[in-house]
Amino acid sequence: MSGAEDLLYFAGGLGPGMQNLGAKKQQRDRRDILNQAYQEQSDATSKSAADLVSEANQMSGGARKDAMSAQEDAVYAQTQQDLAGAGGDLVGSDTGGNVSSDFMKAKADKALEEGNRLTAIAREAAKLRAPGQLTADESQRRADLLARNGSMWGTVKNNTRAATLDAEGVQMPWYGQLGQIITQAGQQAMRAGAGGA
């Protein structure tokens, strides 16, 4: 065998090895990109499930009872504030002269009675308005949950599509490409040598 033939046989063995190493590196890089996208999907699934469980917990009997009570208290406080602002001095008297103590006592009793009446009105209004307000708040919370999840899954879908394109675009490293060239050159040289013989 001549030195040229030895070199061809050496290149014939070296080229496929380099090509194989390059192909394995290319596959690892692609797998890493896709695994990152799959991990993002897994994280999104976990977050979505946790959000849904949290929402479901808020719909349990005890949680709804507490939410209704809190809503009644909030509506009651707001109604009290609205009535106080609208009424001002409900039992007013601008007497410029002397007034008797009986008048002052009657005025104080009337103010107390009116305050108690307004408190009772506020409490009843709270009982009437709280269920509707609670339902509206729950609807808004669920709509927000759906919007956040929809946005999150849209982002995950787009990122997965981008990762797939990135993975498809991963090139074989230079040494793998060089191995392909060496292999092709060795095969052509062997064919040329066989044809010449």
**Residues 93-151: tens digit of each pLDDT:** 555 557 788 878 888 878 788 878 888 888 888 888 889 988 999 999 999 999 999 99
Identify each DSSP E strand in the chain by its residue range: none
Whether the Cβ atoms of residue 150 and residue 63 lie closer than 8 Å to each other: no
**Mean pLDDT on 2-18:** 69
Residue 25: what pLDDT?
93
CA dihedral sign of residues 136, 141, 146, 151: positive
Rounded CA separation 130/138 (Å): 12
Residue 196 in this model has a pLDDT that exceeds 60: no
Residue 8: what pLDDT?
60
- % of the chain at pLDDT higher than 70: 85
Phi-psi category of residue 88: left, alpha or beta, with phi > 0 → left and psi -120 to 50 → alpha: left
Residue 143: what pLDDT?
94
Residue 30: what pLDDT?
93
Structural domain span for residue 191 = 3-196
What's the pLDDT band for 194 if we cut at 50, 70, 90? low
- C-alpha closest to that of 92 among 81, 105, 80, 107: 107
Tally the domains of the chain. 1
Report angle CA 167, 170, 176 to the nearest 5 degrees: 140
Which whole-number Å values give the CA distances from 47 to 36, 41, 71, 140, 149, in the listed order? 17, 10, 28, 19, 9
Whether the Cβ atoms of residue 172 and residue 25 lie closer than 8 Å to each other: yes
Question: pTM higher than 0.85 for the full model?
Answer: no
Whether the Cβ atoms of residue 14 and residue 182 lie closer than 8 Å to each other: yes
Residue 100: what pLDDT?
80
Residue 91 in this model has a pLDDT that exceeds 60: no
